[in-house]
Amino acid sequence: MRVLVVGRIGQVGTELALKLPAAGHAVLSLEPPELDLLRPATVRPAFDSFRPDIVVNAAAYTAVDKAEDDSVLAYAINRDGTALLGRETARLGVPMIHFSTDYVFAGDKPSPYVESDPTGPVGVYGASKLAGDLALAAANPRSVVLRTAWVCSAHGGNFVKTMLRLGRERAELGVVADQHGAPTFADDLADAVLALIPRLADAPAGHPGFGTFHLTGQPFTTWHGFAQAIFTGAAARGEKVPALKPISTADYPTKATRPANSRLDCSHVAAVHGIQAADWRVSLERCLGKLLG
Ligand SMILES: NC(=O)c1ccc[n+]([C@@H]2O[C@H](COP(=O)([O-])OP(=O)(O)OC[C@H]3O[C@@H](n4cnc5c(N)ncnc54)[C@H](OP(=O)(O)O)[C@@H]3O)[C@@H](O)[C@H]2O)c1
């Protein structure tokens, strides 16, 4: 398959650029300035010259706090850029896989969110992503939106790398223990894309394989629980680790409100596509192996 990946050097884009060619796909991964969602004139030539069989969008404005003061840019990339990719894939008659986020939900549900739960983003980032998801579904019925959360990898900036850095710098570290979710490793998301591609390639509009799906790691934990696992793995590799203490969201104020409940129920993608949520503890070990040896 000819796969066009939008967003080459992000966490997910990097893993896709590694895994898709290894699986035998012909891949073109693009990054600004070659393909810039803020410059629509760069999009159509890439589509027309490569003629993809499927497009995967790993690009997004992901700076959650900055988005609160930067909503024009967040919407330009997350809503308008996604809509543009939706129109271009529809024009070529090819499917598109896109990533979205737990931030489309308010986070006040007492149990894990299912795909049909009402959305209600509490910040600009989540609202701009939701607007993009809706625009994509309207533009291209042969599209998949994979809502994920707490994405980490050996590449790019993320919670694992922040914890490792802070662990070296500090004797004691407070980490939020009242936000619930599940870490998701970018290489596991790339594996999910690999599994989806052949299932979507020839599927017609209206096929149950299209639509919105939740996919994170499992089991559920808190940021504090995740940090504990990171430091256990780091200590086993001879790293200096801090004393870890649980704190509340109120003790760690951020510009954008974080959902207290980021738990996404992943049973729909398992039932429809046979894709199982990966055990993030295994993925974390792999990531720490890459980062620390
Ligand atoms: N990170 C998370 O915790 C998380 C959680 C839930 C969902 N998601 C979703 O998962 C997907 C992948 O996230 P990620 O963590 O891999 O993101 P990331 O590491 O921040 O990478 C985002 C990518 O988008 C590119 N990009 C930004 N502006 C662009 C533009 N105008 N045109 C083209 N490309 C542009 C970036 O390029 P530059 O670096 O050159 O700007 C980068 O390659 C996104 O849809 C995100 O919303 C992420």
- Say which of 61, 75, 125, 252 is annotated catalytic: 125
Asked if residue 237 has pLDDT above 90, the reply is yes
* Confidence grade of residue 293 (pLDDT, cut at 50, 70, 90): confident
Residue 9 CA, closest ligand 1 atom number: 43
Residue 52 CB–ligand 1 contact under 6 Å: no
Query: Per-residue pLDDT tens for 258-274?
Result: 999 999 999 999 999 99
- DSSP codes of every residue in 48-72: HHH--SEEEE------TTGGGG-HH
Q: Domain for residue 54, yes or no?
A: yes
Residue 57 CB–ligand 1 contact under 6 Å: no
Give the count of domains, the chain: 1
Residue 36 CA, closest ligand 1 atom number: 32
Tell me the pTM: 0.97
Mean pLDDT score, 32-45:
97
The first and second tokens of residue 213, run together, are: 């799906």
Domain limits for position 20: 2-157+184-216+263-279
- The alpha carbon of 11 and the centre of ligand 1 are apart by a number of angstroms equal to 7
Q: Domain for residue 284, yes or no?
A: no
Report the alpha-carbon distance of residue 142 to residue 86 in Å, rounded: 9
Residue 60 CB–ligand 1 contact under 6 Å: yes
Please confirm, yes or no, whether 61 is among the known catalytic residues.
no
Q: Domain for residue 51, yes or no?
A: yes
CATH number of the domain bearing residue 77: 3.40.50.720
Q: Dihedral through CA 285, CA 288, CA 290, CA 291, nearest 10?
A: 180
Query: Per-residue pLDDT tens for 161-215?
Result: 999 999 999 999 999 999 999 999 999 999 999 999 999 999 999 999 999 999 9
**φ, ψ for residue 204 (rounded to 5)?**
-80, 160
Cross-strand pairs, 267: none
Return the residue whose CA atom lies nearest to atom 33 of ligand 1: 36
Task: Say whether 278 sits in a helix, a strand or coil.
Answer: coil
Return the residue whose CA atom lies nearest to atom 48 of ligand 1: 151
Report the alpha-carbon distance of residue 208 to residue 205 in Å, rounded: 9
Q: Domain for residue 168, yes or no?
A: no
Q: Domain for residue 175, yes or no?
A: no
Q: Domain for residue 225, yes or no?
A: no
Token pair 């390639």 in the structure block, residue: 201
Asked if residue 43 has pLDDT above 90, the reply is yes
Return the residue whose CA atom lies nearest to atom 42 of ligand 1: 10
Asked if residue 42 has pLDDT above 90, the reply is yes
